[in-house]
Structure 1
Amino acid sequence: MLFRTLAAAAALLVLSTSVAAQDLDLRAQVAAYVQPTNEARTGVVVDQLRAAGFEPVVETFVGGNPRGGEMEGRNVVVTIGDGPREILLTAHYDAVVLRDGSLSHGVVDNAASVVGVIEAAKILKGKDLNHRVRIILFDQEELGLVGARKWIEAHGLANVAAVVNSDVAGYGDTLMYGQNNGPQSAFVTRAVQELCAERAMQCVGFPIYPPSDDRAFSGVGRPQGAPAAPVVPTVSLGFQDEVGAHQMWLAFNGGETPGLAEGFVPRVFQLIHSDGDTMEQIDPATVKTAGEVYAALVERLDAQLAE
């Protein structure tokens, strides 16, 4: 009995040590994105994908916006598997420039999502999939979804079966998902709901969800005067603590009387696009969960789309 107890204790120690090591590794991967320029963040993306066993392709484009003028952007892409149609798993890696001219640390928005997507790619790499899965890490989202729009201009959407986008996934155990990407996206949000039920996860669906690169693919919120483009099934996902997720839901969906104190700003919006978006906010457990959930959702969509 004593030996069995000692063996069990040793196994628990090994497991806890392994989990702690993984947490440290994920934290270090997110922290690596704290760089002085977005170009330096590109290098981090490429290095991490290579370390994960991929050979990324850097697709450059002429982007920018009217305020800052033209500037080169860089989308980073890897492809898993093969097939006539593809599922995209996306996140933006660029950070916003603050009022003082410095670059935000940009870890909640959005380095944690990028690391989560790379973790999902590592899981998907060994799967027998029906679709090609393309991982796209976008530049210049903070300038108006420029990287995503430029990718669509270069590649089109004819072969894209679905898009899963991640934005703001740095802490908390509550999955948030948008339900405002058009009727063609209903089966994707249904797949999210099924996954939440199976995993007994706390999940909050948003009839109105803040915009991210998903809008470039769904056609919702297209800039005035922009030409019509094909739309594809799309969902945008994020993580937050449960209270924060519900406060954000009320802020966007509560109407004229949302039940929040006058002038109240949900914590997440106090953090992002500010000098408070720092590593102190990051929970590696959320990054790990995000990677697992994204991979599971892509697998589910892959199977459903093949039926």
Structure 2
Amino acid sequence: MLFRSTAVAATVACFLALAGAASAQTTQAELKDRVAAYVQPSNAERTRVAVEQLTAVGFTPAIETFEGGGRNSGPMEGRNVVVLIPGTGGGAGGEILLTAHYDAVKLRDGTMSQGVVDNAGSVVAVIEAARALKANPPAHDVRLILFDQEELGLIGARKWIEAHGITQVAGVLNSDVAAYGDTMMYGQNNGAQSAWVTRAVQETCAARALQCVGYPTYPPSDDRAFSAAGAPVVSLGFQDQVGAHQMWLAFNGGESTGLAEGFVPRVFRTIHSAEDKVEVVEGETIRLTADTYEAVVRAMDAKLTADGK
């Protein structure tokens, strides 16, 4: 059995039904338009878009600044954008973090990548999931964090952990690269403390009859900052089924991947390049991503509650 108990299974099933009803208000076309809004000439402008979109759906976001930057960029102020969704449990049991980075890379010619696959699609999806969670709060508080400077070395996530610690972090759902396709990818390499979060993902995949692929080794994102600090965390993303399996082989197939010599999966020919453009984005995927992430957060909440946390 995937569910730990009949009671937990019933709770998750109920939450899944509520998730679908709560998130049906935003059309796929509107979600794609929201992703396109992040095509901006600077990351500072992307911050503005994130704040505007959060405000438009009823949040009052806080901007937490930090001193960041890298060896190539030099010192650079960063901005994490944060909102809190109070749960029905009055703050007991810690917080579930729902995270994605909103910054984009600079290309070799000095222009900004459109950064929609990596990672505005995720940003719009987690905002939409947060909107649905706000409308029908789970027991645990949920903190949505949009990180800056992930592309410079997970700096925003590391700075947030330095400032706040992980004492109140019950679990983390991080999203990176979620803009097209119907297959969810999830990492399994974030330590033993993350096993229960992985189970919440797997149970959600089964309950929703969703095509999901688990990666023993998964590409790094802001989840690595949390796993290094000892927090339970999973990193999720979406792409087409063939691409998801090709990426699995590239990272986990060893010397005999079955891939043609020199073959590069589509996703890695897209991100960090001029091909990461809004035409690639599928509104249906953003809708699916938002609904699935909401369901995973509710599954995490049910597991924590069942464990008395």
Query: TM-score scaled by structure 1?
Result: 0.89
1:144 maps to 2:149: no
Where does residue 263 of structure 1 map in the other structure?
A: 262
Equivalent position to 1:34, from 29, 32, 39: 39
Structure exhibiting the larger radius of gyration computed from Cα positions: 1
- Post-superposition offset of 1:21: 7.6
Relative contact order higher in (CA < 8 Å, ≥ 6 apart): 2
2:82 maps to 77
Aligned-CA RMSD value: 1.2
Q: Where in structure 2 are there 5+ consecutive unaligned residues? A: 1-23
CA distance in 1, matches of 2:297, 2:137: 12
Cα displacement string for residues 213-265 of structure 1 (whole angstroms, at most 9, x for unaligned residues): 0000001xxxxxxxxxx411100000000000000000000001100000000
Name the residue aligned to 2:281. 282
Q: 1:67 aligns with which of 72, 97, 115?
A: 72
- 1:8-53, CA deviations, whole angstroms, 9 ceiling, x for partnerless residues? xxxxxxxxxxx89812211110000000000000000000000010
Where does residue 54 of structure 2 map in the other structure?
Answer: 49
Q: Which residue of 2 aligns with 1:234?
A: 233
Partner of 2:132: 123
Which runs of 5 or more structure 1 residues have no equivalent in the other structure? Answer: 1-18, 220-229
For residues 97-246 of structure 1, the aligned pairs below 5 Å read 97-219=106-228, 230-246=229-245
Structure 2 CA distance for aligned equivalents of residues 134 and 128 of structure 1: 12
Q: Which residue of 2 aligns with 1:250?
A: 249
Paired with 1:59 and 1:146, the residues of 2 have a C-alpha distance of: 13
Q: Percent identity?
A: 66
User: 1:213, 1:118 → 2: CA distance?
Assistant: 17
Distance 1:20 1:295, change over 3 A: closer
**2:18 aligned partner:** none
Whole-angstrom CA distance in 2 between matches of 1:194 and 1:160: 21
TM-superposition CA deviations, 1:122-172 (whole Å, max 9, x none): 110022422110000000000000000000011010010000000000000
2-structure distance, mates of 1:280, 1:250: 27
For 1:129 and 1:35, locate their aligned partners in 2 and report how far apart those are by CA, in whole Å. Answer: 34
SS state at 1:168 partner: strand
Number of aligned residue pairs: 279
The amino acid of 1:131's aligned partner reads: H
Does the 8 Å contact 2:85/2:137 carry over to 1?
no
Distance 1:128 1:47 in 2: 22
